[in-house]
Structure 1
Amino acid sequence: MKLVLGPMEGVLDALMRQMLTEINGYDLCVTEFVRVVDALLPPRVYHRMSPELAAGGKTASGTPVRIQLLGQSPQYMAENAAQVIELGSAGVDINFGCPSKMVNGSNGGAALLKNPELMYQVVKAVRDAVPSDAVVSAKVRLGFDDCSPYREIVDAVQSAGANEIVVHGRSKADAYKPGTVRWDLIGDIADRLTIPVTANGDIWGQDDAIRCQEVTGCNTLMVCRGALNIPNLGAHIKMGQAPMTWHEVLILLVRYSEFEIRGDKGLYYANRVKQWFRYLKDQYPEAHPVFMELRQYNDKFKVLSIIVDALNKLEKKPVLVGVC
């Protein structure tokens, strides 16, 4: 089984990728999306989104990182894709799955699911713009209002020349509602297409991964939200490692904070930690009271102090934090 750490806007940044690939057996990471409108973006935009470009397009532990683009202009998506490959990304991924109202309102992400012909044009333009040995992948949902057009959607991606496709087994309208994921339809897609299909959606643990693989027949799975619920989800799925204890998670949070709180990144630290805690509290009951306290604050040092206090209570000794 291959396992991909998928993109999550606003939380799975380069530091998170670095930390999670160190403790998990992920085979690939995909970045948060870069929005392409009507211009060739400067290289600094991509280096900021993926600092791994300076290290051969890999995390410190050697996991390849693929940059994801979101846009609807075949011309500008192609130009930016060519640049992404030149900069050293491990392929280019196209976002046709983001359900955000803001993104969809500007005809991006999942909004393109309503227009498979435009999806085809975007993928083909990207495919034609990059070297033949560069991987072009696309992340899709099964439809916009419902799942009925899923075959037309995936056929458009394959016929345009994509090498791989990731399928989130929901429509845009389903958002992330429990009980709506359709692994069976992903299985139909895997039988239908000749390119590799990666299954995505509601993979929270090893049992889910095994069942998803059985239903879909897919050799590659993508995890997103589950990777935040259980920080060692990859090792749990691939190697049967027990989920991290709450004590181990707090140690990881402090380590994350020591790096994330510095410099410009510190401006977003409080929001990113709060976002992470929203997922952690679903798996760890101990996270809920800590979250309820830190959610009141935006000051990065106050938020960090709350996390350190929680760790101190477990360890019964002061924790030294390397932040200044």
Structure 2
Amino acid sequence: MPLTLADFDYALPPELVAQAPLPQRSASRLLVVDGERRTDSQFVDLPQWLRAGDLLVMNDSRVLHARLLGRKESGGQVEVLVERLLEPDVVLAQVRASKSPQPGSRLRLEDVLDVEVLGREGEFYRLRFAGDAAELIEQHGRLPLPPYIERTAEAPDELRYQTVYARETGSVAAPTAGLHFDHDLLAKLREKQVEVAYVTLHVGAGTFQPVRVENLAEHRMHTERYLLPQSTADAIAATRARGGRIVAVGTTSLRVLESAALDGKLKVGAGETALFVTPGFKFRVVDLLITNFHLSKSTLLMLVSAFGGLEEIRDAYRHAIAARYRFFSYGDAMLLHRKST
């Protein structure tokens, strides 16, 4: 019987949605799931769960100040969430307004930026900035916290809603599994001879879009840009040769690796992915996955269910709720072993 949206529903007490980060990044809890075995641990103890020769693959994308508030020429309020950069002065963005802005009209954002509406692309708009869009957005925009965090971004979020290794600006949401790593923990992993490599996937606003169809085969993912460097492909090959395991840090890293290997061989370089991973997907690269807890009925919950096993993930989430784990972007983490098929 085909899986439907209802198969990925669960009830979460609202107080378990983490509204702020813990004082220390690596102080989060860690639920280790290996088939039917579940172990409560701490993220700072991650080195004990990995082996010398394993390879962590991390997404080094950096979050843009992608949220901008302003007004239309008519005076109506607008909220803009930049999805991606298309050209040096053109972006693709979500625009929330009481009435849709028309092509040729202008938006005044943050009282300093005059932006031209070029047209629509589905549910997004193409907007032209008067200058380098990335620089202007970084200078005048706001950090876009997820919609389930019920507050506006504050000064500490500028640091804590970025990974310590973020360097390639382009995401509108943090690759949150990486938020748990601090420099001390990375040093301990190096001491254990666990290696690190990087990919880049710029997370789009579509990551927060709900699945609106019961039949999952009808859902279409938004595309996201990624880069798989030759150095990372070489590190993966070397890890395989020495019998180590590939550990994806976050669903974004996993989607890069599995997208690049859809034809059976890892393809180096830049690309775009709309990979929608559901149970039954054949994983070719990733052996373990570090990930946070995900929203009910989300594509990310479907991905982890494909990776760790549908029933195993259901049991793990029931356990996490009963044990009062913290959920979502600023919440706790899981270390998942890929379910053998």
Q: The TM-score by the shorter chain falls in which range?
A: under 0.3
Greater helix proportion: 1
Tell me the TM-score normalized by structure 1: 0.27
Greater RCO, CA 8 A, separation 6+: 2
TM-score w.r.t. length of structure 2: 0.26
Structure having the higher strand fraction is 2
